[in-house]
């Protein structure tokens, strides 16, 4: 099925004016399909158009009382002719439940056999479960009715009322875009609250009930705090009635901002101990989705090229509001270590793009741009803009934008116009430098005889202005800082040149690659532990990671720095982010696995002995040790709880991590995995077992076949299998699959659609195989226009990483 192009969308938005949707769902059938009837009233200034529907079977189409031939459906589009000034269209279709997380997802809970559904419409999935005019700028109010089993509850964008056993009506909504219409139906457990006149709700599978209830007050508190903050910032109150946060199964993103009924991945209902960083991240996801109620839902982009207006704004607001108004702190440290590192890598990849691109990709290709640019870089530049303009002008402009376009659509030019009316000056230059161009400048510190000079080099002619602070640090803990503006290719800084370490952009204010001078690099092992600001440590680590990736710094030096700094590192965000980087990039990537694994495991083992019992640091360190140690006796002793560290609860998820490592070490086989699944008969257990089975030497073929050919595997099981498949310690076992990736991955787009296609590709690409012979096949796949764009994008990312690893190995052998 071809995707909607921007030209088609513009024409249809000109031709049609939507009045209303009445959508009736019948979910009472017991097969893998359901029936939907959409009644759409709309005005038209053209006699022809089309309606989108992707059914198993189109049952009937009636336009202005006339029955049309259902055989006219072609590639998900039903042509409409003879349109009048006002029209009444009724389309009934039998549609298939989804297993890939898009459309109307249906999942069976392994714990109790209960069936759950939820609707995911973004980006082009709405016609998979209701006939509609599927594009962001054709908004209309919705009235939804549902028939379902009598023990189900129903939730959606409008408040739900049960009208009879198994029959529900959702209140008419405000005008909505198709991509954020949802329907939640199943025997969900629900919790209600109310705040400031807004009915609040949480929902999850019955089997997660006790875990949700344990955290409900935390979740409601974050929601209340964020509503207060947004109501202080925005003149418009939350406009969509009730506010539900539904933790949904088999969700392939973090969350989705459906007005009134946000859906959230239910792996964020924590069933055991997690780190503070993970709790904080979950809180930020909730705050992010709440920001979308204004930016995205109340005012929506016209086309997907302006999705950054949604995502960058929500991302910036999530960190700002979480830091200023919730009980979770350290949000900008997390931003620097996790999100910014993601964005900096993306901005140096072959697939980078401007935050606000002109290139008007179709609706399917636009999915690829939900990446480190649209989230992290966009958020970083909005943070910069708010600081540069000051909150008075920034929020005045934002509010004027929201008021001018409420319940409608707007683009970048309209946003900039409102900021300008509010008093902003010279935004054209700013947006050219930060929104309209891609790529990242490098800022390098140099010690001169007189002091310090910062050099700026650019990949293009943008000549970006950088406002930042330069920090100077010594091993005794002394620190100094000076503000710098880099407007030319070099800037002299009024600061002595004798500090142990000098760090450009110590406050993480600008968007740049940072390079330390050689003296600072040499002094880092002794000075880094004395730097108390977590954000500055993140800036240093991003500089180190980036220099390694550029083959400028020996990865052994980075690993040594990590082992030197780890004993002093008190941030679970830092340890988690850096261990992940070492596992994903260094062990088996930049360095031979056997060379790098031991020092990392030793360092984590020593660190673990010093962490406080029951602390986040203990948990994150233990996880890192489990996945890197070769000490079978230790792993076994933790698993049977005979010698687990004091305070470390060996819960179901840590048990699975231990089992996975023992499988990878050849100590455990299918019998032990089955036994563990017998202990943990939950959906989460099934997902964990999927990962472990894919790690079995004799489980590779079965896992590969499932991943590449089985459309019925649920999203979480699928991604877990792909995740468990490759490991640098199993290079010989997985060698036969390396070339098969290039031939077997393209057809997966025929059995799945949407986000999960790319997510699977990223995990099942042979990422630990550092072999120049893979460059050719990868290039050919990326260049093949007949292959799904998500597969090509993720293969391009794989190729970028491969080239970097080859360069690092060739430089540092």
Catalytic member of 102, 242, 257, 289: 289
- Could you say whether residue 317 binds Zn ion (CB under 5 A)? no
Query: In terms of Cα–Cα distance, which of 224, 240, 233, 250 is closest to 180?
Result: 240
Question: Is the backbone peptide bond immediately before 690 cis, with ω within 30 degrees of 0?
Answer: no
| CB burial readout 236-267, b (16+ within 10 A) else e | eebebbbbbbbbbbbbbbbbbbbbbbbbbbbb
The reply to whether 321 sits near Zn ion by the rule CB under 5 A is no
Query: Residue 97 half-sphere exposure, CB side, CA atoms within 13 Å?
Result: 25
CB of 262 to Zn ion, least distance (A): 10
Nearer to Zn ion, 311 or 323 (CB): 311
Question: Is residue 531 a contact residue for Zn ion (CB under 5 A)?
Answer: no
Closer residue to Zn ion (CB): 77 or 320? 320
539 binds Zn ion (CB under 5 A): no
Contact region with Zn ion (CB under 5 A), list: 313-321, 322-330, 429-437, 465-473: 313-321
Distance CA 309, CA 382 (A): 10
Nearer to Zn ion, 180 or 737 (CB): 180
Binding-site residue total for Zn ion (CB under 5 A)? 2
* Span of 49-57, 311-319, 380-388, 566-574 interacting with Zn ion by CB under 5 A: 311-319
Which residues neighbour 766 within 8 Å (Cβ) at sequence distance 6 or greater?
Answer: 726, 734, 737, 738, 741, 774, 798
Instruction: Give me the count of residues in the chain.
Output: 813
Nearer to Zn ion by Cβ, of 225 and 311: the residue is 311
Mask for 28-67, x = binds Zn ion (CB under 5 A) = ----------------------------------------
Least CB distance to Zn ion at residue 257 (A): 6
Q: Which residue lies nearer to Zn ion by CB, 63 or 314? A: 314
Minimum distance from CB of 288 to Zn ion (Å)? 6
From the CB of 307, what's the least distance to Zn ion, in Å? 9
* CA distance linking residue 766 with residue 55, whole number of Å: 35
User: Which string of DSSP letters, residue by residue, matches 711-725?
Assistant: TTS-HHHHHHHHHHH
Candidate ranges 59-67, 262-270, 312-320, 391-399; the one touching Zn ion (CB under 5 A): 312-320
At its nearest, how many Å lie between Zn ion and the CB of residue 383? 16
In the bound state with Zn ion, the residue whose beta carbon lies nearer, of 102 and 311, is 311
Q: How many other CB atoms sit within 10 Å of the CB of residue 477?
A: 11
CA distances from 67 to 47, 55, 72, 226, 360 (A): 17, 18, 12, 50, 36
- Between 314 and 587, whose beta carbon lies closer to Zn ion? 314
Among 9, 160, 314, 608, binds Zn ion (CB under 5 A): 314
Q: For Zn ion, which residue has the nearest CB?
A: 314
Q: Are strands 198-204 and 189-195 parallel, antiparallel or unpaired?
A: antiparallel
Torsion sign (Cα): 402, 408, 412, 414: negative
Strands 466-473, 452-457: parallel, antiparallel or unpaired by DSSP?
unpaired
- Alpha carbon separation from 681 to 273, 357, 535, 636 (Å, rounded): 19, 47, 41, 21
Please state the closest distance from residue 534 (CB atom) to Zn ion, in A.
Answer: 25
Q: Is 289 a catalytic residue?
A: yes
Q: Which stretch binds Zn ion (CB under 5 A): 307-315, 442-450, 495-503, 560-568?
A: 307-315
User: What is the per-residue burial (b if ≥16 Cβ within 10 Å, else e) of 530-541?
Assistant: bbebbbbbbbbb
Least CB distance to Zn ion at residue 300 (A): 13
Question: Which residues are designated catalytic?
Answer: 289
Contact residues: Zn ion, CB under 5 A: 311, 314
């Amino acid at each position: 099925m071809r995707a909607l192009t921007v030209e088609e969308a513009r024409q249809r938005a000109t031709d049609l004016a939507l009045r209303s949707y009445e959508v009736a769902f019948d979910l009472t059938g017991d097969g893998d399909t359901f029936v939907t009837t959409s009644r759409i009233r709309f005005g038209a200034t053209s006699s022809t158009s089309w309606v989108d529907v992707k059914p198993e079977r189109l049952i009937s189409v009636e336009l202005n009382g006339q029955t049309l031939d259902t055989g006219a459906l072609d590639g998900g589009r039903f042509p409409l002719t003879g349109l009048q000034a006002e029209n009444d269209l009724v389309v009934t279709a039998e549609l298939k439940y989804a297993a890939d997380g898009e459309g109307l997802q249906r999942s069976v809970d392994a714990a109790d056999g209960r069936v759950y559904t939820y609707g995911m419409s973004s980006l082009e999935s709405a016609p998979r479960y209701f006939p509609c005019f599927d594009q962001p700028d054709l908004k209309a109010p919705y009235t939804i009715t549902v028939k379902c089993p009598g023990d189900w509850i129903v939730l959606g964008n409008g408040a739900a009322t049960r009208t009879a056993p198994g029959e529900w009506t959702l209140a008419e909504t405000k005008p909505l875009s198709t991509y954020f219409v949802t329907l939640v139906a199943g025997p969900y457990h629900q919790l209600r609250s109310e705040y400031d006149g807004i009915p609040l709700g949480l929902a999850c599978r019955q089997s997660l009930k006790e875990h949700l209830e344990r955290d409900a007050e935390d979740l409601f508190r974050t929601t209340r705090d964020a509503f207060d903050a947004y109501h202080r910032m925005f003149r418009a109150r939350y406009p969509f009635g009730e506010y539900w946060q539904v933790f949904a199964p088999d969700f392939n993103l973090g969350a989705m901002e459906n007005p009134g009924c946000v859906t959230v991945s239910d792996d964020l209902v924590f069933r055991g101990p997690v780190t503070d960083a993970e709790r904080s991240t979950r809180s930020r996801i909730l705050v992010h989705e709440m920001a979308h109620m204004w930016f995205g839902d109340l005012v929506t982009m016209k086309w997907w090229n302006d999705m950054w207006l949604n995502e960058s704004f929500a991302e910036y607001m999530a960190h700002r509001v979480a830091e200023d108004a919730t009980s979770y702190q350290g949000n900008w440290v997390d931003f620097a270590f996790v999100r910014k590192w993601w964005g900096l890598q993306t901005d140096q990849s072959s697939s980078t793009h401007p935050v606000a691109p002109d290139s008007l990709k179709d609706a399917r290709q636009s999915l690829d741009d939900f990446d480190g640019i649209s989230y992290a870089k966009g958020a970083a530049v909005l943070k910069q803009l708010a600081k540069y303009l000051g909150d008075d002008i920034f929020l005045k402009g934002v509010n004027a934008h929201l008021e001018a376009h409420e319940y409608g659509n707007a683009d970048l030019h309209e946003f900039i116009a409102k900021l300008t009316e509010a008093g902003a000056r010279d935004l054209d230059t700013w947006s050219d430098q930060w929104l309209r161009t891609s790529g990242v400048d490098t800022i390098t510190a140099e010690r001169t005889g007189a002091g310090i000079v910062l050099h700026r080099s650019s990949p293009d002619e943008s000549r970006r202005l950088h406002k930042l602070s330069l920090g100077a640090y010594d091993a005794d803990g002394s620190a100094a800082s000076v503000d710098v503006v880099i407007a030319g290719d070099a800037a002299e800084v009024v600061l002595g040149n004798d500090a142990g370490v000098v760090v450009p952009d110590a406050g993480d204010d600008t968007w740049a690659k940072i390079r330390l001078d050689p003296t600072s690099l040499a002094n880092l092992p002794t000075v880094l532990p004395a730097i108390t600001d977590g954000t500055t440590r993140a800036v240093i680590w991003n500089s180190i990671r980036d220099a390694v990736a550029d083959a400028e710094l020996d990865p052994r030096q980075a690993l040594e720095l990590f082992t030197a700094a780890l004993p002093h590192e008190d941030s679970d965000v830092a340890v988690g982010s850096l261990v992940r980087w070492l596992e994903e990039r260094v062990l088996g990537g930049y360095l031979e696995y056997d060379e790098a694994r031991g020092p990392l495991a030793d360092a984590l083992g020593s660190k673990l002995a010093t962490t406080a019992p029951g602390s986040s640091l203990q948990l994150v360190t233990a996880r890192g040790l489990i996945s890197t140690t070769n000490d079978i006796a230790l792993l076994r002793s933790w698993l049977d709880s005979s010698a687990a560290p004091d305070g470390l609860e060996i819960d179901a998820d840590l048990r699975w991590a231990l089992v996975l490592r023992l499988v990878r070490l050849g100590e455990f086989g299918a019998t032990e995995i089955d036994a563990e699944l017998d202990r943990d008969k939950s959906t989460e257990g099934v997902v964990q077992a999927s990962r472990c089975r894919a790690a079995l030497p004799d489980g590779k073929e079965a896992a590969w076949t499932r991943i590449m050919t089985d459309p019925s595997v649920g999203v979480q099981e699928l991604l877990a299998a792909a995740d468990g498949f490759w490991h640098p310690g199993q290079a010989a076992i997985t060698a036969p699959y390396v070339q098969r990736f290039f031939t077997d991955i393209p057809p997966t787009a025929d059995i799945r659609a949407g986000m999960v296609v790319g997510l699977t590709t990223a995990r099942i690409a042979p990422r630990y195989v550092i072999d120049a012979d893979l460059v050719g096949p990868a290039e050919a796949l990326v260049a093949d226009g007949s292959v799904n764009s998500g597969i090509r994008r993720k293969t391009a990312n794989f190729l970028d990483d491969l080239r970097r690893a080859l360069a690092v190995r060739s430089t540092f052998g």
